[in-house]
Structure 1
Amino acid sequence: MTYWLLLHFGIAVAGAWMARHYALRGNLMDHPGERRSHTVATPRGGGIAIVAALLCAGGWLLWNGPDQGQGTLLPAFLVGLVLVAGIGWWDDHRPLSPASRLVVQAVAAGLLAMAAGRDSGDPLAAMIAFAAALVLVNVWNFMDGINGLAASQAAIAACGFAFSLQGDWAWLAAGLLAACLGFLPFNFPRARIFLGDVGSGALGFSLAALLAAGWTRSTAPWPLLCLPLCAFLVDAGFTLLRRMLIGERWWTPHVTHLYQSAARRFGHTAVTVIYAAFGGVTLLLTYLLSQEDARTALAATVCVYMGASAMWGILRRRVRG
């Protein structure tokens, strides 16, 4: 496992370095604006390094992994990853309409769902895979707005999956963890390159695939797998709901998430560390509750989400006040 982690860490480091130089040469930059949280022009597209690491991990596991290529979920994940990352890479170079991106994401989600349903024999697994892919791809895109936040939260979730899953998917989660850690020095505490849509979408899709795999491959009760996703789902979910209720164009870029308001007041580094601390608590709970029955795990997960929702409401009022 140590060599596996070092390999994918190294791929991500090398890939991020090359992506930064590519972006600088091609003027692939995110410029400051009223709908952005950064103040200096910064290269984007660095998430291609994480995609490269995941494709290497998935390709090797497909042929040599513990499961010896059994099942269709892993091949479907790799094809879907190429689709989601590819449309994100295109959007990083030449902005596309939200509808065109959503169509490609839906195709990738459909492939993942069909494979999840076929491998498990459970239609519910297919529905969860489809919903998780569409939701998490866009949540990670919405929440990728300050230094280190999206990559660190993906690393925390990947750590939970690596602990909870079995076979190929535990190894894939470990590869994702190492790749995120390899990218983070380029993005935190000072951002020398951003993930871009290629990276944020790929992270969300990868976590959705791990969540789908957990339906049949988890050693812990399945609801616990949702715990490390809590901070992003609560912030993105309530912010999106609020924007819908007040009639805003919710699909357009904005700076009204809790993490964005907090970053303007306290700085990027402090907010990313606070979110990471909350993620650490969810990891600890995942470990402590991993031997409990499904009913207890579900109740604990619901309680955590309710508590996080209450915290979101309180902190939003205080930060904006």
Structure 2
Amino acid sequence: MIYIFLSFLSFYLTYFIKNYAIKKSFVAEVNDRSSHTVPTPHGGGIAIAVTWFIGISYLYYINDINSSLYFALMVGIVISVVSYLDDLYELSAKVRLVAQTLVALLGLYFLGGLGSFELGLFSIENQLFTNIFAFFMIIWFINLYNFLDGIDGYAGSEAVFLGIAGFLLFGGSHFLVLIVAVLGFLVWNWHKAKIFMGDVGSTLLGYNVAIFTIYYANQESSNLWVWIVLFGLFWFDATLTLLRRYKNGEQLSQAHRKHAYQRLTQSGWAHDRVTIFSVLVNIVLFGLVYFVSNIFVAFVFSLIILYIVIRFIDTKKAFE
């Protein structure tokens, strides 16, 4: 019953925010980074955030979520608030970085840090190294999820996929809360999008993925690679694009439209077609995790598949 309530809450909150944003002219204007062609309301991620925090708080109230995981996830309130202010007022990069540093440190504190880092034949248990890695992973996941929120349904469908995959692999009612919180928004964000989630939603989702990764890695160190494979479509695109732009001598802080999904839309693919393609790739990645017993073999195969996907996209629209 709670999940039905949460899905309707997300749905109607998104509807209210959409109408309010239109009334107050809170719209995402078309710029150099945009993949949309008309100004569209943003801030729909508020509905995701409100529904998410209410949902996991209910789980905490009925003792259906680990307390360390709950408090680590609740730290996401900070990044949501700061990101919403950034949506409205375009905060400086320094302010955003301070907020991201704070939530990364607090998240690691509540999780007790990252215990170990498995590398196949051996594992690294030096707490200084593992926690530095975890710290930068959280910040990178926050930012890359924001980078890849650019077309109808893309960021939302990724979150739903990760929620479903997480539930099937690990169980946990928090994954069901994530699914319904995003689905209610996704109804309004599907092609053609009537509202975007904005930074308030995308940064929160990126933070959540990082927290899930660390939390489950602490239960079983190989689980870190499970999440890296599941999240491969996003981190591979974001990381490779960053490296390619660096190699081209570009100013990395400059807005661009060179991510794989953006180049697919530029090649003539409609937003819904790109999103459906991403879902199919994600299903393949889930299959690797589910059916391949050795997670490191699955990881290697995932890299090969993702590289093939990128090369396919390069044939549609070259990286320039």
Normalised to the residue count of structure 1, the TM-score between the two structures is 0.88
Partner residue, 2:239: 237
* In structure 2, distance between residues paired with 1:185 and 1:94: 27
Q: How does 1:164-313 map to 2 (within 5 A)?
A: 164-166=169-171, 170-217=172-219, 221-264=223-266, 265-289=268-292, 292=293, 296-313=294-311
User: C-alpha offsets along residues 121-180 of structure 1, whole Å, 9 cap, x if unaligned?
Assistant: 9736644542332111111110011111011011111211122235xxx21121111111
Aligned residue type for 2:310: W
Partner residue, 2:146: 141
Q: CA deviation at 1:40?
A: 0.8
Matched-pair contact (CA < 8 Å) for 2:114–2:134: no
User: C-alpha offsets along residues 271-297 of structure 1, whole Å, 9 cap, x if unaligned?
Assistant: 1110111112222333324xx3xxx11
User: C-alpha offsets along residues 49-79 of structure 1, whole Å, 9 cap, x if unaligned?
Assistant: 1101110122122232235x54x33213202
The number of residue pairs the alignment matches comes to: 308
Aligned with 1:112 (options 107, 110, 121): 107
Q: Which moved more, 1:26-35 or 1:196-205?
A: 26-35
Q: Secondary structure at the match of 1:270?
A: helix
Q: Secondary structure at the match of 2:250?
A: coil
Q: CA deviation at 1:216?
A: 3.2
Q: CA deviation at 1:102?
A: 1.5
Aligned residue type for 2:71: P
* In structure 2, distance between residues paired with 1:138 and 1:235: 13
Q: Secondary structure at the match of 2:112?
A: helix
Normalised to the residue count of structure 2, the TM-score between the two structures is 0.89
* In structure 1, distance between residues paired with 2:227 and 2:237: 18
Matched-pair contact (CA < 8 Å) for 1:114–1:126: no
Q: 1:320 to 1:118 in 2, by over 3 A?
A: closer
Aligned with 1:44 (options 42, 47, 58): 42
1:77 and 2:80 matched: no
Matched-pair contact (CA < 8 Å) for 1:156–1:283: no
Q: Secondary structure at the match of 2:33?
A: coil
Partner residue, 2:91: 96
Partner residue, 2:157: 152
Aligned residue type for 2:270: G
Q: CA deviation at 1:118?
A: 5.4
Partner residue, 2:119: none
Q: Secondary structure at the match of 2:236?
A: helix
Partner residue, 2:120: none
Q: CA deviation at 1:312?
A: 1.0
Q: Which moved more, 1:192-201 or 1:218-227?
A: 218-227
* In structure 1, distance between residues paired with 2:33 and 2:194: 19
Matched-pair contact (CA < 8 Å) for 2:104–2:135: yes
User: C-alpha offsets along residues 15-34 of structure 1, whole Å, 9 cap, x if unaligned?
Assistant: 21111122112211111233
- Equivalent pairs: percent with the same residue? 27
* In structure 1, distance between residues paired with 2:251 and 2:87: 21
Q: 1:209 to 1:244 in 2, by over 3 A?
A: same
* In structure 1, distance between residues paired with 2:156 and 2:101: 23
Partner residue, 2:5: 7
Q: 1:10 to 1:132 in 2, by over 3 A?
A: farther
Aligned residue type for 2:141: L
* In structure 1, distance between residues paired with 2:130 and 2:51: 27
Q: CA deviation at 1:119?
A: 8.8
Partner residue, 1:29: 27
Aligned residue type for 1:99: K
Aligned residue type for 2:192: R
User: C-alpha offsets along residues 164-203 of structure 1, whole Å, 9 cap, x if unaligned?
Assistant: 235xxx2112111111111111111111000101011111
- Please, which runs of 5 or more residues in structure 1 have no aligned partner? none
Q: Secondary structure at the match of 2:190?
A: coil
Q: Which moved more, 1:310-319 or 1:199-208?
A: 310-319
Matched-pair contact (CA < 8 Å) for 1:158–1:207: no
